[in-house]
Amino acid sequence: MKVLGTSVLVFEAIVVALFIPVAYFTGAATDGSTAAWLGGGLAIACLVGAGMVTRPGGIAVGWAIQVLVLACGFVVPLMFVLGGMFAALWWAAVRFGRKADAATRTREGGPTPLT
């Protein structure tokens, strides 16, 4: 889960950072500072979330980030598409990352979760 979830959020931070000039130059944001705060704050949230992936509540933070990225679609409509793609990648990272972690624990002889 750690590698997949972290990878999704780090690449999402790059995409969200590129949201800043798009929002500014298309005139979608009222001014440059709004685009910078929105995109910069969300990019930092993605990086913080990447560090929290294996901690309790880390997956919930990742889902919250996905919702916020989708909400950026109200500023730049293409973010609906990109946010949907990253939400699908996040879902896959959570699902298959947990399966991979369970398989690793089984192979190493450790306990398996009851989920």
CB 88 within 8 A of CB 44: no
Q: What is the largest CA-CA distance in the chain?
A: 57
Domain boundaries, the chain: 2-100
Could you tell me how many residues make up the chain? 115
pLDDT at residue number 12: 96
What is the tens place of the pLDDT at every residue in 56-97? 999 999 999 999 999 999 988 999 999 999 999 999 999 998
Checking if the pLDDT of 46 tops 70, the result is yes
Residue 6 CA, distance from chain mean position: 8
In Å, how far are 20, 58, 96, 104 from 112, measured between CA atoms? 43, 20, 15, 9
